[in-house]
Amino acid sequence: MKKILAILLMMAPFTLIAQQINVITFNIRFNNPGDGENAWPNRIDMVTGLLKFHEAEIFGMQEALIGQIEDVHKEMPGFEWFGVGRDDGKNGGEFSPVFFNKSKFILLENGTFWLSETPEKPSKGWDAALNRIVTWGKFQSKVTGKKFLFFNTHFDHIGIEARKNSATLIKKKIEEISGSQGLPVIVTGDFNLTPDQEPIVMLKKYLKDSREVSETPPYGPVGTFNSFKINAELEDRIDYVFVNDMVKVLKYGALTDYNHHRSPSDHLPVFVKIQLK
């Protein structure tokens, strides 16, 4: 019996191991000197400290300018990132970068598409006020060998049609990139929408809201936008982690960490512990 088990382990070294993965989505607020005491140089340590304390293993950020990404990367040894600026497909404008722990994941493929009628190039879609993008990666776990897809985005804050069409486009792109493989899918982002609004309802027709399917009760407040106010009502939930049926959500939390009566950002990071099925 021991010999048979040893042979099975040699033939399929990953199949008997489960892996829990800590995922975070975090709008870090762009580097705006006009934010005064909440300007980026005063928040770098809080942002990176939070990511390290909560042991993030893969995370998507929104509103990140290239200098901010470099600051975070410098403080997160062992992590790699990918993404492009939404203005020019290079370093111009805000990014929606994805960071991952290199010791736990292998990046197999990655790319960016714009939320517009011409997703393959820098562009503004429909009635959107700004260029908006989705950064995606195909990963393989070094622990289990399982592959999965990770998408990170920031929907427009004004365009009604843009947000509805963005929800449709993401579905199409997930199907294209996943193909017939039926891979686990994780989608993180600031959607600038509350759960009752139509584009979120559309997304939930093919993805699950991690807050709603968490195996343990959701932790923290409902709302995720605090406008840098420690005493904010926190009623509006606009930041999400969505998953498909091949991802089990073990824990969900909206993190209210702050230091010296200041918040790391004007959005709360959302933390989710998952397991790939």
Residue 172 neighbours by CB distance under 10 Å: 11
Low-confidence spans in the chain with pLDDT less than 50: 5-11
Please give the tally of structural domains in the chain.
Answer: 1
Q: What is the pLDDT of residues 201-257, one digit of tens each?
A: 999 999 999 999 999 999 999 999 999 999 999 999 999 999 999 999 999 999 999
Contact 160, 127 (CB under 8 A): yes
Q: Give the Cα-Cα-Cα angle 26, 232, 230 (nearest 5 degrees).
A: 75
pLDDT recorded at residue 197: 98
Taking phi over 0 as left and psi of -120 to 50 as alpha, with beta for the rest, 273 belongs to: beta
What domain range includes position 157? Answer: 22-276
Do the domain assignments include residue 5?
A: no
Residue 148's nearest CA partner among 96, 92, 114, 187 is 187
pLDDT recorded at residue 181: 82
Task: Tell me the C-alpha distance between 256 and 267, whole Å.
Answer: 9
Q: What is the pLDDT of residues 101-120, one digit of tens each?
A: 999 999 999 999 999 999 99
Do the domain assignments include residue 63?
A: yes
Which tokens sit at 151? 């998408």
pLDDT recorded at residue 3: 54
pLDDT recorded at residue 220: 98
pLDDT recorded at residue 1: 53
Do the domain assignments include residue 87?
A: yes
Query: Which secondary structure element, helix H or strand E, spans residue 162, and what is its range?
Result: helix 160-178
Give the Å distances, CA to CA, from 236 to 50, 66, 179, 213, 267: 22, 28, 35, 19, 11
pLDDT recorded at residue 6: 47
**b/e string for 239-253 if b means 16 or more Cβ within 10 A?**
bbbbbbeebbbebbb
Q: What is the DSSP string of 203-265?
A: HTTTSEEHHHH-SS--BS-S--B-TT-TT-------EEEEE-TTEEEEEEEE----BTTB-SS
Contact 68, 42 (CB under 8 A): no
State the pTM of this model: 0.94
Task: Tell me the C-alpha distance between 196 and 182, whole Å.
Answer: 28
pLDDT recorded at residue 144: 96
Do the domain assignments include residue 10?
A: no
Residue 241's nearest CA partner among 201, 214, 219, 205 is 214
Amino acid at 178: S
Task: Tell me the C-alpha distance between 57 and 272, whole Å.
Answer: 11
pLDDT recorded at residue 166: 98
Backbone angles phi, psi at 188, to 5 degrees: -115, 155
Provide the CATH number for the domain around residue 246. 3.60.10.10
